[in-house]
Amino acid sequence: MNIGILGAGITGSQSAVSAKKLGYNVYLSDTKNRKDISKSILDVLEKNGIELELGKNSLDFFADCERIILSPGIPENDFIKLLKSKGKEMISDIDFAYEHIKNAKWIGITGTNGKTTTTALLGEIFKTEYKTFIGGNIGESPTKAIGENFEIFIIEMSSYQLDISKKVRFDSSLILNITEDHLNRYNTMDNYIHSKLKILKLTKSTCFINSDNGILKTIQGENVIKFGLKHTEDQKVIYNKKDKILSINGESISVNELTLIGIHNIYNIMGASFLALDEGITNKNIFHILRTFKPLPHRIELVKEVNGMKIYNDSKSTTPDSTYFALKAFENKRVFLILGGSDEKHSDFTILDHILKSDNIFTYIVGKGADYILKQLNGKNILGPMTIEKSIQLVFEKGEKDDILLFSPGCPSFDRFKNYKERGEFFKKIINER
């Protein structure tokens, strides 16, 4: 049996090793040269006897492969179209894992924002009662779990992964929200929405949808159950915004007891709770995790407190919408916002214009996309362009006790950093050196 793999990243390398262990002859191709690929990945691939083609993609290399696992980071291109024209079946690593893992339940989570936090949270909830694998876009490929006897698979699905997945069928799923993102890849918002909604077709039973989201509120379907702050009747999970109380199956918990902050995280918690209840997880175990869950790095992460000013790293924010919700988490505070990064997404920053006009918000615009952002904003407390270092200096000169310094870029990181993690670590390093 032969199988091809496009891409030598984490997904491709883990899929390659797993396929090899199953007895496949594995052919992996990547346009990157050897020097541009992680040495640790190359060592693993070569140790496991994976056939490699580096620095190019060629049809001859995949001549004996009827199926090819496509890494999600690779967009549809001429070579992929050529492979399809030659009858090669393109599948995702999620598909491959699903075909080779029996007697397990699969849960899929997607959305523009919050899907990683929700996937991690739900995974911890399920771990209280089941042997649970957490993977997909959050980090590990589920191919790594083949043969490990997991009972539950909690899979974060990006739009890219949904685009290339055909075989997987989720027992239940969740769509948190859909807002503008990745238009540099999808060209139109309709294309992006279509990709996100594909999870409906990949779900065997119930798909829970946040109907407070403008795009999702009109979605209908036999397998759709809607939730949100506006749904208060016959719902297992209800949030009382006035009293800041979350009710799950009639039992209540105060927002002050939760480790996740902000209204966007209320939606994340509600979605995770619906999925957990759907699979019979007890209230006791859900509440325990809600009280003890450790927020993920770079997502409104408290870095430190300096002279009474709290400093938060939200480097994972790569869309204006995510910055908006981060600001809403501190709407009763004076906030110094550091915004900006690269501009390849061509996002609409006017959605921030109203909130940035508040007298309590001071905004510093940084990065390659600063001029693009500044043209869209009309707030009076906005300065830029400048560097991240300069913005931090200015905030410390002006900030006082009980103020908030929020690093929530609302942009990709590629103008200066290889990913949002490197950007967040850079920000934390500067803060911790002060």
Whether 263 contacts 114, CB under 8 Å? no
Q: Which residues pair with 383 in a beta bridge?
A: 364
HSE-CB at 130 with a 13 A cutoff on CA atoms is 21
For residue 256, CA distances in Å to 94, 261, 292, 294 come to 37, 9, 12, 15
* pLDDT of res. 434: 87
Nearest one of 32, 35, 81 to 56, comparing CA atoms:
32
How far is 107 from 326, CA to CA, in rounded Å?
A: 27
Query: How wide is the angle at C-alpha 392 spanned by C-alphas 391 and 394, nearest 5°?
Result: 65
Token pair, residue 242, equals 């006035």
How far is 152 from 311, CA to CA, in rounded Å?
A: 37
Secondary structure element (H or E) that encloses residue 36, with its range: none
* pLDDT of res. 379: 81
pTM to 2 decimal places: 0.94
Secondary structure element (H or E) that encloses residue 427, with its range: helix 420-432
Q: Which domains does the chain have, with CATH numbers?
A: 2-91 (3.40.50.720), 95-292 (3.40.1190.10), 301-432 (3.90.190.20)
How far is 300 from 118, CA to CA, in rounded Å?
A: 14
Token pair, residue 233, equals 């009747």
Secondary structure of residue 162 in the 3-state scheme:
helix
* pLDDT of res. 234: 63
Nearest one of 61, 80, 75 to 2, comparing CA atoms:
61
* pLDDT of res. 187: 85
Query: How wide is the angle at C-alpha 159 spanned by C-alphas 158 and 164, nearest 5°?
Result: 100
Secondary structure element (H or E) that encloses residue 82, with its range: helix 78-85
Question: Which residue in this structure is represented by tokens 């393109």?
Answer: 90
* pLDDT of res. 415: 95
Whether 406 contacts 312, CB under 8 Å? yes
Query: Mutual orientation of helices 115-127 and 263-278 as an angle, nearest 10°?
Result: 40
List of residues 6+ apart from 377 with CB closer than 8 A: 349, 350, 352, 353, 356, 363, 365
Question: Which residue in this structure is represented by tokens 């999925």?
Answer: 275
Whether 315 contacts 338, CB under 8 Å? no
Can you give the pLDDT of all 434 residues of the chain as single tens digits? 999 999 999 999 999 999 999 999 999 999 999 999 999 999 999 999 999 999 999 999 999 999 999 999 898 899 999 999 999 999 999 999 999 999 999 999 999 999 999 999 999 999 999 999 999 999 899 999 999 999 999 999 999 999 999 999 999 999 999 998 887 788 899 999 999 999 999 999 999 999 999 999 999 988 999 999 976 656 899 999 999 999 999 999 999 999 999 999 999 999 999 999 999 999 999 999 999 999 999 999 999 999 999 999 999 999 999 999 999 999 999 999 999 999 888 899 999 999 999 999 999 999 999 999 999 999 889 999 999 999 999 999 999 999 999 999 999 999 999 999 999 999 999 999 98
Nearest one of 217, 208, 123 to 178, comparing CA atoms:
217
* pLDDT of res. 146: 98
Query: How wide is the angle at C-alpha 264 spanned by C-alphas 259 and 266, nearest 5°?
Result: 55
* pLDDT of res. 233: 59
* pLDDT of res. 411: 96
Q: What is the greatest pairwise CA distance in the chain?
A: 66
How far is 121 from 157, CA to CA, in rounded Å?
A: 15
Token pair, residue 408, equals 């929530």
Token pair, residue 283, equals 């209230």
